[in-house]
Amino acid sequence: MPFKDLREFIARLEKEGQLKRIKEEVDWNLEAGAITRRALEENLPAPYFQKIKGYPAGYEMASGILGNIQRVAIAMDMAPDAPVKELIEEYLKRKDKPIKPVMVKDAPCKENILKGDRADLLKFPVPMIHEGDGGRYLGTWHITVSKEPGGDWVNWGMYRHMLHDSKSFAILAPPPKHFALMMEKAPAKPMEVALVIGTEPISSFCACTPMPYGVSEVDVAGGLRGEPVELVQCETIDLTVPATAEIVIEGEIRPGDMKDEGPFGEYTGYRSEQRRPRPVVRVKAITHRNNPIFTMSCMGVPVDESAAAFAVCKSASFLDELRSKGLPVTGAYLVPEGASHVLVVSTKVPYYNIAGEIAHVVWGARHGCLTPVVIVVEDDVDPCNLKQVFHAMMTKCHPWRGINKIEHALAWPLIPWLNNYEREFRIGARVYFDCTWPIDWKPADIPKRMSFAEAYPEDVKKKALAIWEKYGY
Ligand SMILES: Cc1cc2nc3c(=O)[nH]c(=O)nc-3n(C[C@H](O)[C@H](O)[C@H](O)COP(=O)(O)O)c2cc1C
Ligand SMILES: [Mn+2]
């Protein structure tokens, strides 16, 4: 059964030992961030803050709730220890059966409707997440809802939102993000935005997954849940939002309204870009549940929410794209420890330079520019097993033939190895590592791998395994 709301998911995480309630008073100013960061780095349960300094009882905060692969598995209603390969294939199966949302009239997110002066963003414990961030961040685990100007396509994204003041906040969504493409369609008109905080887990997960242009993430969320998402109409703008959300902020971006945003400690594990003018969202209304639960994530050195969620949804999208081109790939894994920068692909090798074919499909896919490193291994290597991948890389990748550098390529501005000039103009580079044996080597010339599975005849292995059983070691 899919989770109805965030509260049900929190209860399940706690039952699985993946969430810890913290009753002690914690400061929104850096303390909640520091506790979350350490919990993520040590792979400890997600911290659930029950008393936030300066905020009334009942204003609680959940942090790091999809901060490892196990929590993503729980969100998908699968066994917490399901192998990530299974999660990727299950995700692909379910996302191909989207379910349209249903509209409801009575919605928990309308328990409190705040307009005018009462619509105050500081009512919520918006955290200062890292020392040196450009401000308190209102949106770090949420849904940003927008509609294509002149069309029906509704997009859900997850784009960071820095608080400017009690009535306005920023958005960071550079092209090719869908929000940016929607803004470009009608630059002279106001753009309505709903910021939804505290949803059941799949809706927020879908907001950070790379769907194709024109696809509504809410339909895919329905497919992944196996049940439609329930939506309700906003109060002051023409958008709909998940009915069981904890907090909904309604607002609009006016043409030319820009203000400095950032910097921010990011999913790459660094704070690496400059403060820059970015669009401002002006608040029109806020609605929230009684005792609203705020959600945050503390990006930084992986693994955190982006790394864990992307290891499933982005691996799946790349795999889908490669398969759709008829390439004989057997697996793909966006390595969580690699900050979204590296995709490992396993494949059969039917012809020359399959590694190059694969790498270019990856880079041509949506969000390809965020993943400048591609490692291609043969199908006897599990791309999700980093020990196997590293061994293949160190033994099969020729330092000159196997490492292929692309000197000129579109960069993603958050990549830490860019200098300031490259970051500004998005001038990047890419590389793929070909860890396959050359197609023109005779079978007899190919080195034979010396593993238990491959270096012994079956009868010897059988006898050896019998020894194991007999001595119990
Ligand atoms: C916690 C978290 C924070 C994110 N913050 C941003 C952000 O500030 N800007 C951005 O462009 N993408 C951000 N992303 C990635 C986008 O959510 C992701 O690329 C998503 O596919 C965007 O939606 P779209 O494909 O509809 O454009 C973030 C992802 C996560 C998990
Ligand atoms: Mn989208």
Distance (Å, whole) CA 341 – CA 344:
10
CB 319 less than 6 A from any atom of ligand 1: no
User: What's residue 471's pLDDT?
Assistant: 87
Cα 418–chain centre separation:
22
CB 297 less than 6 A from any atom of ligand 1: yes
| Greatest Cα pair distance in the chain | 80
Cα 340–chain centre separation:
9
* CA Rg value for the chain: 24
Distance (Å, whole) CA 404 – CA 248:
47
**Tokens at residue 406, please?**
């692309």
Ligand 1 centroid – CA 221 distance (Å): 16
Distance (Å, whole) CA 249 – CA 268:
28
How large is the average pLDDT for residues 222-242? 98
CB 298 less than 6 A from any atom of ligand 1: no
Told to judge if 454 belongs to the known catalytic residues of this protein, a careful annotator would answer no
Ligand 1 centroid – CA 199 distance (Å): 16
The DSSP symbol for 439 reads T
CB 306 less than 6 A from any atom of ligand 1: yes
Instruction: Kindly report the backbone phi and psi dihedral angles of residue 341, in degrees, each rounded to the nearest multiple of 5, phi listed first.
Output: -85, -15
User: What's residue 227's pLDDT?
Assistant: 98
Ligand 2 centroid – CA 292 distance (Å): 27
Q: Among 377, 380, 351, 378, which Cα is nearest to 440's?
A: 351
User: What's residue 36's pLDDT?
Assistant: 98
Q: Which of 142, 145, 159 to mutate to test the pocket of ligand 1 (most atoms within 8 A of CB)?
A: 159
Distance (Å, whole) CA 83 – CA 87:
7
Tens digit of each residue's pLDDT (9 = 90 or more) over 239-288: 999 999 999 999 999 999 999 999 999 999 999 888 999 999 999 999 99
Predicted TM-score (pTM) of the model is 0.96
Ligand 2 centroid – CA 153 distance (Å): 9
Instruction: DSSP for 269-298, please give it.
Output: SS--S--EEEEEEEEEEEEE-SSPEEEE--
Dihedral, CA atoms, 368, 370, 372, 375, nearest 10 degrees? -70
Tens digit of each residue's pLDDT (9 = 90 or more) over 56-93: 999 999 999 999 999 999 999 999 999 999 999 999 99
Kindly give the number of the ligand 1 atom that is closest to the alpha carbon of 366.
Answer: 25
User: What's residue 420's pLDDT?
Assistant: 92
User: What's residue 472's pLDDT?
Assistant: 83
The helix/strand/coil state of 166 is coil
Kindly give the number of the ligand 1 atom that is closest to the alpha carbon of 156.
Answer: 26
Tens digit of each residue's pLDDT (9 = 90 or more) over 45-61: 999 999 999 999 999 99
User: What's residue 274's pLDDT?
Assistant: 84
Ligand nearest to the CA of 154: 2
CB 177 less than 6 A from any atom of ligand 1: yes
Q: Which entry of 200, 230, 266, 305 is annotated as an active-site residue? A: 266
Answer for the pair 290, 111: CB distance below 8 angstroms, yes or no.
yes
Other Cβ atoms within 10 Å of 122 Cβ, number: 14
CB 305 less than 6 A from any atom of ligand 1: yes
Of all residues in the chain, the percent with pLDDT exceeding 70 is: 100
Kindly give the number of the ligand 1 atom that is closest to the alpha carbon of 161.
Answer: 8
Domain segments of the chain: what residues? 6-296, 325-445
Strands 102-103 and 230-233: parallel
CB 172 less than 6 A from any atom of ligand 1: yes
Answer for the pair 114, 285: CB distance below 8 angstroms, yes or no.
yes
Ligand 1 centroid – CA 398 distance (Å): 35
Q: Among 336, 355, 337, 7, which Cα is nearest to 200's?
A: 7
CB 28 less than 6 A from any atom of ligand 1: no
Asked if 6-296 and 325-445 have one fold, the answer is no
Q: Which of 36, 158, 182 to mutate to test the pocket of ligand 1 (most atoms within 8 A of CB)?
A: 158
Kindly give the number of the ligand 1 atom that is closest to the alpha carbon of 309.
Answer: 31
Tens digit of each residue's pLDDT (9 = 90 or more) over 82-131: 999 999 999 999 999 999 999 999 999 999 999 999 999 999 999 999 99
pLDDT, mean over the chain: 97
Ligand 2 centroid – CA 353 distance (Å): 32
CB 158 less than 6 A from any atom of ligand 1: yes
CB 309 less than 6 A from any atom of ligand 1: yes
Distance (Å, whole) CA 418 – CA 420:
7
* 279 prior amide bond cis, ω within 30: no
**Tokens at residue 100, please?**
């349209």
Q: Measuring from atom 12 of ligand 1, which residue has the nearest CA? A: 159
Tens digit of each residue's pLDDT (9 = 90 or more) over 287-346: 999 999 999 999 999 999 999 999 999 999 999 999 999 999 999 999 999 999 999 999
Query: Would the pLDDT of 347 be above 90?
Result: yes
**Tokens at residue 323, please?**
């398969």
User: What's residue 1's pLDDT?
Assistant: 83
The helix/strand/coil state of 192 is strand
CB 208 less than 6 A from any atom of ligand 1: yes
Answer for the pair 61, 294: CB distance below 8 angstroms, yes or no.
yes
Q: Measuring from atom 20 of ligand 1, which residue has the nearest CA? A: 208
**Tokens at residue 302, please?**
């992986």
Q: CATH homologous superfamily for 6-296?
A: Electron Transport, Fmn-binding Protein; Chain A (2.30.110.10)
Q: Which of 63, 140, 160 to mutate to test the pocket of ligand 1 (most atoms within 8 A of CB)?
A: 160
**Tokens at residue 64, please?**
């790091």
Q: Measuring from atom 21 of ligand 1, which residue has the nearest CA? A: 210
Distance (Å, whole) CA 204 – CA 297:
12
Query: Would the pLDDT of 473 be above 80?
Result: no
How large is the average pLDDT for residues 384-412? 97
Where residue 442 falls among pLDDT bands split at 50, 70, 90? very high
Assigned CATH class of 325-445: alpha beta
How far is the CA of 395 from the CAs of 373, 391, 437, in angstroms? 18, 6, 10
Answer for the pair 327, 361: CB distance below 8 angstroms, yes or no.
yes
How large is the average pLDDT for residues 444-465? 96
